[in-house]
Amino acid sequence: MHNTIQLMDRDQMNRSLERLACQVLEENLRHLDLALVGIQRRGVHLAKRIQNLLQGRLGEEVPLGKLDINLYRDDWTRIKSQPRINSTDIAFSVDGRNILLVDDVIFTGRTTRAGLEAVLDFGRPERVELLTLIDRGHRELPIHPDYTGKRVHTARHEQVDVLVQEQDGRDEVLLTSQE
């Protein structure tokens, strides 16, 4: 039997993204060469929303790229099915830039590690920061987000799903556990 709890609704997600955009602005005003890179799939949609918020406040364009980390995964030998390969599109130079890597959920840190490796294949940024909507803990690597929408204490067997309007037809964050 599955038990599902809503962690965030649409309004809570929007408020969290607005707060995160303000935090990014505060931290990056002295580092104006900012670009966003969303991790496929839902991280791209969240990055686009952050981009719109930043551009509205700055009045200037903030570049946005999307990144597929599947070829950088370290669990190829463990997974039973072939991963779904998405596209990578970074149409700007990352050299010397401040890159904000955006993902929906951070769990073990392995997706972020893969994302960092992929970004570095495009060049040498000045720095890379991480923004996640949900931090659910259970890190296996020493990776922590610079900006977090919400920290949630979970058991390892629980699942956190971020649903976005652009892909899922609604905005919400769900925690599902098996009983």
One digit per residue, pLDDT tens: the chain, 179 residues?
A: 789 999 999 999 999 999 999 999 998 876 678 999 999 989 999 999 999 999 999 899 999 999 998 877 665 545 555 556 668 999 999 999 999 999 999 999 999 999 999 999 999 999 999 999 999 999 999 999 999 999 999 999 999 999 999 999 999 999 999 76
pTM over the 0.85 mark = yes
Answer whether residue 5 is part of any domain.
Answer: no
In a domain? residue 127: yes
Q: What domain range includes position 114?
A: 10-73+88-159
Q: Is residue 154 part of a domain?
A: yes
Alpha-carbon gap, residue 14 to 29, rounded angstroms = 22
> Phi and psi (nearest 5°) for 136?
-105, 5
- What is the count of structural domains for the chain? 1
Q: Would 53 be classed as within a structural domain? A: yes
Domain harbouring 92, CATH code? 3.40.50.2020
138: phi > 0 → left, psi -120 to 50 → alpha, else beta; which?
left
Please check whether residue 30 lies inside any domain of the structure. yes
Residue 121 is encoded by which pair of tokens? 């294949």
Provide the terminal-to-terminal Cα distance of the chain, rounded to the nearest Å: 5
Query: Contact, 147 vs 129, CB < 8 A?
Result: yes
Q: Residue 170 domain-assigned? A: no
Is residue 175, in this structure, part of any structural domain at all?
no
Pick left, alpha or beta for residue 59 (phi over 0 → left; psi -120 to 50 → alpha; otherwise beta). Answer: left
179 falls within a domain? no
Asked if residues 5 and 178 have their Cβ atoms less than 8 Å apart, the reply is: no
Give the CA angle between residues 39, 167, 108 to the nearest 5°.
35
